[in-house]
Amino acid sequence: MNNWVIVMMLGASLFLGAIALFAFMWAVKNGQFDDEEKFLNSVQFDNVEDLNDAVDFERKKEKLKKKSYRPE
């Protein structure tokens, strides 16, 4: 009775999924996701203070891990 609705929805979803897959494959083939300059451009904005803060944060995190771990 309502099987035609299920078939129609299944067909529509398969059609839209195929279009999305085709668009994704086209974008990958044409290099839409390639961004070689992003890494190089982001490095120039880092300064010494930011890097030192990151190292200090990692050291504090390691100290807290060692303090919280108490073998019995």
Q: Please, what sign has the CA dihedral across residues 18, 19, 23, 26?
A: positive
pLDDT of 63 above 90: no
- Residue 8's pLDDT band, with cuts at 50, 70 and 90, is very high
For 14-58, the pLDDT digits (tens) are 999 999 999 999 999 988 877 766 655 555 556 778 778 888 888
Q: Flag whether the pTM goes above 0.85.
A: no
Name the region of 31 (left: φ>0; alpha: ψ -120 to 50; beta: rest): left
Q: How far apart are CA 17 and CA 26, in angstroms?
A: 14
Q: How far apart are CA 25 and CA 70, in angstroms?
A: 51
**The pLDDT value given to residue 40:** 58
Q: How far apart are CA 57 and CA 51, in angstroms?
A: 10
